[in-house]
Every structure is written in structure tokens, then in C-alpha cells.
Structure 1
């Protein structure tokens, strides 16, 4: 069949923490096909989290090639690609090649550095300039760690960049970073909309070692021939740089209006709301990243969401299937008969930003079995999610809706727990939704297919609504108070500050 007779498809590429997902959409926002490739994270030392950038990008390209082939089999052709990508990664580069593995968002090796900054009272300075609290997740601490602990790599580095930046360099020969990813680095001044010279000076790098900041709707043409051939793409394919996965998750969910909150549980978890300009929380509990002109996303995130259930599955439940875990948890009454898990396996992000605290299992009894561990993990994550949901609600004022996404939506037990703990109806979205679709919406805005981001809201369909059980919501309200008391006793004073 002649390629000119094929229908056009837009490919959303979501480069995540554990893998890459590519979803192709028709012009009517219908899913044509999808593909997925996974890649590992290594932890050579406690608190470290790294990935091999060459292997990750090879898997990303394999995923794209798989999707392109599937699209062709469905009598479509990919004419437009747009990217969603994970935030907070850093790769030192010399002569176009990585000098070491990528240090990803989950890495806590710079904790001693960032805690020293906290002791020096620099929280307000960092947060007010960048909308990013002091935390080892962000790039300033990682850069100073590299300078101190791996000075040879730091000094040899001509550039410091993320996975998506490296991909665009290899495809187009340019060092570019979208304004969304830039705004999540902790190096970007949201008021000047440029790299912050004072923070760069603190980290010991120069602005020429960072990429050029471009719009999230920037369109690239002229992909290198070897790349297009490797991927099975036409040489005239247009590529939109896109944004970070968190802000695109909100866009993909169609949650752009005042009072529309999104809640996500994947490997990590988050609650987010879209605002028209950068917004700070008086207690520093949230971050704020750029999406597009007139659209910023305020959020709070937790490190250990699906990761917690995965840990319970591997360490306590002999690797049983998630379907079996669902069944085990469903048999246990709310409260897990006194067992409570505070899921800080890799430290804390929002709301108190303390990377040093660790998980606790409270109330363990001889009567507890596999189902109790499974349900306690689900409940513990729900309590953590409420702690980041609360400041988002404060910023939102009146909540109009809560839309949920992520892998956890397949678990009816876990979804019901979250609805009861948050004590609010949860709108579960059908396709299209998620970060890959958010990237596609940005692409359509970039080429003029849509005029405003708000046009995507009509494409987000509510699959079903899960309502809180009044009796269980009251019970979990008391349990959450107990959780807060335990938190204060175990981790009292962790990281709090005021920007007033």
C-alpha cells in the first residue's frame, strides 16, 4: 500500500523510570497501537539509583521501532512524534558520550550535601527562586556530589544533561532541553525563565555546560538519516520535544481547570493541580513545574508507592502475582488488624523532604499473615498520598474533581482504599489518558491541530467513578490521625520550614 494512502498517526513516547511506553493515536484521539520496553535500575551502594543511558536509549528506540511497525500493520504511518520523559536525571557528557551512568531521581547520595544546605537555612532561597525544595532528587546536590566524589568525571564533563537531551543530541545534533524538564532541575529561575546564575555558581558549573532551553512545543525536523532508518521512520517525520512526565500526566487526564486534581500511583505517587503561573506553598511542601504558556503544575510526590507493594511482594510474599496480592488484601478488614506500614523505603519527598528517614512496620503480631502485609502496604501508601493531597487541596481551594491514573487502577481493593482514605470520589479515566497522550496533545498544539490545551478536556472520558464508603472513610480518618501521630513520634521535625 502506498504510504500516501495511509492514515496519519501521532506517537507519544513516554520515557519512564522502569521502562518506555509508546502509544500511537489517530487524529480522533483513538489508540492505534502501543508498545513497551523495560530497563533496570542499579543500586551499587545504599541510596544510589543509576541507569545505563546507552542501554535505556537503545530500549527507547526499540520501543519506538516496535510501535512504528505496529502502526504500519494497522494501515497508519507515524508522521509526528512527541516526548514525555522522567525528570531529575543527570549524565556528565564528554565528546558526545556519557562518562558514567545516569543518576536518576530516586538517588539519595547527595543527602549530606542537601542537609547541610538546610542547616545553613537556604531552603527559602532555593525554593523561592526555582519552585524546587532542597532535596537530593534535584540537580544542585547531585552536581556538588559529582564535583566532590568523582572530580575527574566532573572536570572532564563538557555537558550535563538528561536522557531525553542525549536522545535529541543523537537524533538532531543539538543540545536542547524543554522548559518543563528545565524547571524541574532546581537550577532554573522561574521568575527570569532562565538558568539561575547564583545556583549555577554554587554547583560549580557554567551555563554553557547546560542545554539551550526551548519551548515544550518546539518542533524538530531533519532527523539524522541513520536514526530514521534505524527506527523505520520517514525522514520527514516531525518531532516535538514535549515535557516532563508528571505535568503531561495532568494534561493527558484533561485536568486543567481550577479545582481539578489528579492523583497517580505508579512506581512513585503524586497529587497535582494546574495553575496559571508559578505558585509556592507557604510551608514548602510542594513543587511547581512548567507545562506550557499560562500552564504550570503544582504537585506533591512520594517516592514509595507501587514500589512499596513490589517490595512486599518480593520480600514477604514469595513473588506471588499481583492478582493473588489483590485477593489476599481484599480478605483483610480495614486497618489490617493493627498492622501499619510507613512506606519510607527510599526516604521521603513531599511534604517534608527528608531523604534520610526510613520505613517502619508498626503493630506486627503473630496473627498477621500475607494478606495483612499486602493490605498494610496499600493503606500505608494511601496515607502517604493523603499527606501530599492535603496541601494540593489547600492550594486548589474547592476541589471539583479528583482524577486518578497509574498501574494501581487495576486493583479495585487499592482504589477503594484510596477513595476511603482521601474521602472523595475518584474518577477513573479510560483511554486516551496519561503522559503519552499528554505528549500527543502538546504535539497537536505545536502544529496547530488544536488551538488551546483546553481542547483536550473533551477527549478525556471518565470510565467509572469510585465513591468512598462513609463508614470506612470515618474509620480511615481516625487511622490517618494515628498515622500522623506515629510519623511525628518517629520522624519529628523532619524538614519543615515556612516561606513567610
Structure 2
């Protein structure tokens, strides 16, 4: 069949913390093909977390290339590409080249700076302006740390941007940032829908060092010829800039109406609801990021979710497979016979924003074995998610559904633990690729294939339920 006559597919590209997932969907929202790649995170000093942006983007492009080729082999032509990307990364750039590794969301090196701002009573100022609490994951602290600790790099940098911004610069020759990623930087004034001049003065950077803010539905054409040839892109491909992975997870889950909560576990974990306008928590326990016109996402995130179980598998269970961990944990009774794991391996975000807190095992005795460690990790993560779920429920008022997704849904034991701890029925999502699918739905909205965000309800629903 001639390539031009092949049915069209939309590729959702989800650039995550530990890897990238590319999922091609037909217009009927059926998965055509999927490709994955992985990349490392380095921690050269305690509390640091950074990535080689060139390596990450090379892997992302290879993943896109594989997905496009696989789609053609499945007799589909990718004509739309839409991006989901992790938030809070910082790359100083000079003449288009990174000056150092990307400082990612999990990095806590700026904790002394953000703690000083807290002591100075600036929490209200930052939170009410940006809907982002003071915390090292946000860009203000990272930028001030860079100016103090790596002044040569700070002074040389003509741009400060994230991974997706760097990719779009290389593809289209423009410095642009979608409004969703911008709203999660801690530099964005939600009332003015623009960079905040006072916070920029605090960080010591200028407006022209940041990218142009564009709608999440902006459509780009004319991919750089070298990139297009290398990846096998169609000459008429349209690229939608997309949004942050968290808000697109909610869109992909179809949790857009009042009272619909999503709970997700990947490397980190989060609970979220969609609201019509920027919304603050009276106690500052949550954040609020932009999704699209008339849609913002309020959420709370924990640092150590799937990361905790991975740590237990590697350090305590001799590298046991996920299936082995599931079997071991299922053999242990609720409460792990008194063993508790407080999962603060990399500090914590919501609800108390404590980057310096650390993990603890409590109640360990001679009777405990591998299964106890596995189950204690699952229970510890579930109780941490409860601590962010409760503020979300308070803000939602009445909760009609709780939709869950992420890798943990493959564990019946973990799902049951979550249902018990949250004391709520759980809908297990039929579409497991939440953020990638959310990016695809956003692309359909951008080009007019769907007329409204809530159209996602027509293509997705929960397939199973977990009961407390």
C-alpha cells in the first residue's frame, strides 16, 4: 500500500524520569504500536539528581524513530506527534548547547536556599503568585543555587530551559515552552499568565533568557530536515507541543469532571483533580498546573513511590522480579506483622514539602523476611499517597470516582492495599498509557478531531474495580 494512502495514526511521546514511551493510536483510540527506551539518572553528590540531556534526547528520538517505523510495518502513517514531558528540569544553555547536566525534579541541592526563603516568610508570596509551594524541585531555588555554586556557568548561559524546550529548539529552531510546563516552574504568575518579574529578580535571570510561552495545543510544522530524515518523519507531519506529564495523565484518565480523582504510581506518585481555574489550598499542601483553556489540575505528589519498591527489590530482595515481589508480599498479612517503612528515600514533596526528611524502617525483628520488606514498602507508599489524597478530597468536596493507573496496577496486592488505605473503591484504568494517551487527546483537540476535552470519556473507562 502507498504510504500516502495508509490510515493515519497519532503518536503520543511521553518523556518521563527514567525513560520514554511512544504510543501510536488510531483515530478509534486503539493502540497501534508502542516503543520504549530508558536512560540513567546520576547522583554525583548526596541529594543531587541530574541527567545528560543530549543522551536523553538521543534516546527519545530513537524511540520515536522505532515507533514510526513499527507503525508503518503495521500499515499506519504517523501524521500527528504530541508530547508529554516531565516537569521541573533545568538546563543552562549557551549558543544552543547545554553547559551542564539537566537538574531534574528529584534534585534537592537547593534545599538550604528554599529553607531560608521559608524562614523569611516568603511561602505565601510564592504560592499565591505561582500556585507552586517553595521547594527545591522548582526552578527558583535551582537558579539561585547555580548562580552561587557554579557562577561561571550561570553567567555564560544565555538560556535556561527544560528537555522538551531543547528538543523543540533542535526540531524547529525556536525557544518555546508550553503553558503547562511553564506553570510548573515556580516562575509563572498564574494571574497574569506570564513570567513573574519579581521572582525573576529573586533568581537573577532575565525574561529574555526564558522561552516564549505558547498554548498546549500549539501546532508546529516544518521539522528540521536533518531530524526529519533521521527519524523517518512524514513531510506533512504536524507536531503538537503538548503539556506536562502529570496534567496529561489526568486527561488520559478521563478524570475531568468535578469529584473525579486520579491516583497514579510511577517512579513517584500523585493524586489529582481537574478544576476550572487556578486553585489554592489554604494550607499550601498542593500545587496547581495548567492543562488547557478552562482546565487546571490541582495535585499533590510524593517523591518515593515505585522508586521505593525498586529500592527494596535491589537492596533487600537480591534483585527479585516484580512477579516474585508480588508473590512474596501476597503471603504477608496486612500490617506486615509490625514492620513499617517510611518511604522518604529522596526527601518529600506534598503535603509538607520536607526535602531533608529521610526514610526509616520501624519495628524490624528476627521474624521478618523478604515478603515483609516488600509489603511494608507497598503499605508505606499507600499511606504516603493517603496524605496527599486527603487534601485533594477536601478540595473536591464530593468524590464520585477514584481512578488509578501506573505500573503498580499490575500488582493485585498493591491495588488492594491502596483500596484499603484510601477506604475507597478504585477504578483501574483500561488505558494504561495515561500521559501518552493524554498527549494524543490534546493533539486531537488541537487539530479539530475532537471538539472538547471531555470527549476522552467516549474512549476510556475503568475496566476493573478494587474494593476496600
Partner in structure 1 of residue 407 of structure 2? 407
* Deviation of the 1:463 alpha carbon: 1.5
Partner in structure 2 of residue 259 of structure 1? 259
Partner in structure 2 of residue 385 of structure 1? 385
* Deviation of the 1:235 alpha carbon: 2.0
Question: Is 1:223 the equivalent of 2:235?
Answer: no
CA contact 1:29–1:432 (8 Å) conserved in 2? no
Partner in structure 1 of residue 443 of structure 2? 443
Give structure 1 regions of 4+ aligned residues with deviation exceeding 2 angstroms.
none
* Deviation of the 1:433 alpha carbon: 4.7
Partner in structure 1 of residue 45 of structure 2? 45
Partner in structure 2 of residue 455 of structure 1? 455
Which ranges of structure 2 fall in alignment gaps of 5 or more residues?
Answer: none
Q: How does 1:87-166 map to 2 (within 5 A)?
A: 87-166=87-166
Paired residue secondary structure (1:82): strand
* Deviation of the 1:126 alpha carbon: 0.2
TM-score normalised to the size of structure 2?
0.99
CA contact 1:43–1:49 (8 Å) conserved in 2? yes
Partner in structure 2 of residue 345 of structure 1? 345
Paired residue secondary structure (2:301): strand
Write out per-residue CA displacement over residues 190-220 of structure 1, whole angstroms, 9 at most, x where no aligned residue: 0000000000000000000000000000000
CA contact 1:13–1:84 (8 Å) conserved in 2? yes
TM-score normalised to the size of structure 1?
0.93
How far apart in 2 are the matches of 1:185 and 1:311?
28
Paired residue secondary structure (1:278): coil
Paired residue secondary structure (2:33): strand
Partner in structure 2 of residue 10 of structure 1? 10
How far apart in 1 are the matches of 2:151 and 2:459?
50
Partner in structure 2 of residue 395 of structure 1? 395
* Deviation of the 1:431 alpha carbon: 2.4
Paired residue secondary structure (1:255): coil
RMSD: 0.6
Write out per-residue CA displacement over residues 286-332 of structure 1, whole angstroms, 9 at most, x where no aligned residue: 00000000000000000000000001111111101111111110000
Which ranges of structure 1 fall in alignment gaps of 5 or more residues?
Answer: 469-500
* Deviation of the 1:416 alpha carbon: 0.3
How far apart in 2 are the matches of 1:456 and 1:250?
10
Paired residue secondary structure (2:200): helix
CA contact 1:433–1:460 (8 Å) conserved in 2? no
Question: Is 1:242 the equivalent of 2:245?
Answer: no
How far apart in 1 are the matches of 2:59 and 2:115?
36
Matched residue pairs, number? 468
Question: Is 1:423 the equivalent of 2:423?
Answer: yes
CA contact 2:406–2:432 (8 Å) conserved in 1? no
How far apart in 2 are the matches of 1:401 and 1:430?
15
CA contact 1:31–1:432 (8 Å) conserved in 2? no
CA contact 2:9–2:79 (8 Å) conserved in 1? yes
How far apart in 2 are the matches of 1:332 and 1:282?
39
How far apart in 2 are the matches of 1:355 and 1:245?
22
Write out per-residue CA displacement over residues 132-167 of structure 1, whole angstroms, 9 at most, x where no aligned residue: 000000000000000000000000000000000000
How far apart in 2 are the matches of 1:431 and 1:200?
40
Q: How does 1:476-495 map to 2 (within 5 A)?
A: none
Q: How does 1:153-302 map to 2 (within 5 A)?
A: 153-302=153-302
Q: How does 1:329-340 map to 2 (within 5 A)?
A: 329-340=329-340
Write out per-residue CA displacement over residues 103-135 of structure 1, whole angstroms, 9 at most, x where no aligned residue: 000000000000000000000000000000000
CA contact 2:426–2:467 (8 Å) conserved in 1? yes
How far apart in 2 are the matches of 1:283 and 1:224?
47
CA contact 1:31–1:431 (8 Å) conserved in 2? no
Question: Is 1:372 the equivalent of 2:372?
Answer: yes
* Deviation of the 1:461 alpha carbon: 2.3
* Deviation of the 1:5 alpha carbon: 1.5
CA contact 1:263–1:405 (8 Å) conserved in 2? yes
How far apart in 2 are the matches of 1:177 and 1:57?
16
* Deviation of the 1:228 alpha carbon: 0.5
Partner in structure 1 of residue 303 of structure 2? 303
* Deviation of the 1:347 alpha carbon: 0.4
CA contact 2:405–2:432 (8 Å) conserved in 1? no
Partner in structure 2 of residue 326 of structure 1? 326
* Deviation of the 1:432 alpha carbon: 6.4
How far apart in 2 are the matches of 1:15 and 1:192?
28
